Amino acid sequence: MTGFSDVPRPVRSGLVIVDPQRGTPQRVIVLQFNPDSLERSLAPQVAGADGSGDRTEALRLKGPAVETWKFTAELDATDQLEVPSPNGIHPQLATLELLVQPASAQLLANQALAALGTLEITPIEAPLTLFTWGGKRILPVRLTELTITEEAFDIDLNPIRAAVAIGLRVLTVSDLPTGHRGAELYLAHLAQKERLVGTAAGGRLSALGLGGGF
């Protein structure tokens, strides 16, 4: 009799927090369930989009398209009964929420600088965040949306089930300094797309009712 051990385990999607200097992972966030759907949007960065009307710019691209992703992650403590948690899914939610929050130590350091009369305080830089969806999609991203809907609670009002709507903006070479680890990963992602195009079957003009000379 064939056991379930023969069934390959599905690859999970998730987020990786990376040290931008060393390129080493600082934290790995594996989504409990792979989202059922992904919404992706690409807005081309075209020259002349400001309405200047220069006809020589009509086919020129200023840089990589602005790409955004949206999906909903499901969290459910009842699916993890083998690892009981007295806090429900508070830890998982906190992990996601801190992706869009500066560390408390950094805020305290800035407050101390302000108290000393520092005129200009550099904005806090967040770690590099990567979104992974299989081996062919590893993207440097910035979180643009995090909407949490808590749907069930235990007797102590700890959330035990939630839906988290996550919005991401892909960071490109237009967003990051030259030589930045995230810029290198974006270029690798773009090169992967170009290789995939090479494996697609080409179409024929005849299928469109066109001849060689149009």
**Per-residue model confidence as pLDDT tens digits over 25-60:** 989 999 999 999 999 999 998 877 665 667 777 788
Rounded Cα gap, residues 127 and 111, in angstroms: 21
Asked whether the predicted pLDDT for residue 63 surpasses 80, the reply is: yes
Domain with residue 140: its CATH number is: 2.40.30
Domain that holds residue 82: 11-41+61-102+124-194
Rounded Cα gap, residues 174 and 80, in angstroms: 41
- Number of domains present in the structure of the chain: 1
**Per-residue model confidence as pLDDT tens digits over 2-33:** 555 566 778 999 999 998 777 789 899 999 99
Continuous segment of H or E residues that includes residue 96: helix 90-97
Continuous segment of H or E residues that includes residue 112: helix 104-115
Region for residue 179 given its phi and psi (left: phi exceeds 0; alpha: psi -120 to 50; beta: otherwise): left
The single residue listed with the structure tokens 């081309």 is 44
156-182 exposure pattern, b = at least 16 Cβ within 10 A, e = fewer: eebbbbbebebbbbbbbbebbeeebbb
| Domain membership flag for residue 208 | no
Say if residues 172 and 185 touch (Cβ distance below 8 Å).
no
| Domain membership flag for residue 149 | yes
| Domain membership flag for residue 184 | yes
